[in-house]
Amino acid sequence: MKQQKRLIAWILCIGMILVLFVSSAYIAHAAAHDCAGEACEICQCIARTEAALHSFALLGVLLLAALAPLFLARAKGRGRGARRCALPTLVGWNVRLNN
């Protein structure tokens, strides 16, 4: 189950990166087109693509803002736990304490 979630996360990540890359490439390619006026289909498509890029950027910023405190708290917790676990203990050496 954990591997399936990880695979799905990687597929979604690669898909989003491809969407962002292809959208940016399309905007760069179509930026110098011969415009037909207000009803230009290429200009409308560029506007929709830019709106999609802006929404992806906004989503990324919101996710980063929401998850940053969690990551920082987890990193601080690992720092203290790593020092505590690095000390040798009888349990770590599998010593039996019989009376």
Dump pLDDT digits (tens) for 54-66: 888 888 888 889 8
pLDDT of residue 80: 54
pLDDT of residue 96: 81
Cβ contact 19:27 at 8 Å: no
Which pair of structure tokens corresponds to residue 43?
């200009």
Cβ contact 35:46 at 8 Å: no
Dihedral sign for Cα atoms in the order 18, 21, 24, 28: negative
Which pair of structure tokens corresponds to residue 11?
């597929």
pLDDT of residue 8: 93
Say how many residues make up the chain. Answer: 99
**Number of separate domains in the chain:** 1
Cβ contact 37:21 at 8 Å: no
67 domain residue, yes or no:
yes
80 lies in which domain range? 2-86
62 domain residue, yes or no:
yes
24 domain residue, yes or no:
yes
Dump pLDDT digits (tens) for 2-40: 889 889 989 988 988 898 889 889 888 888 888 888 888
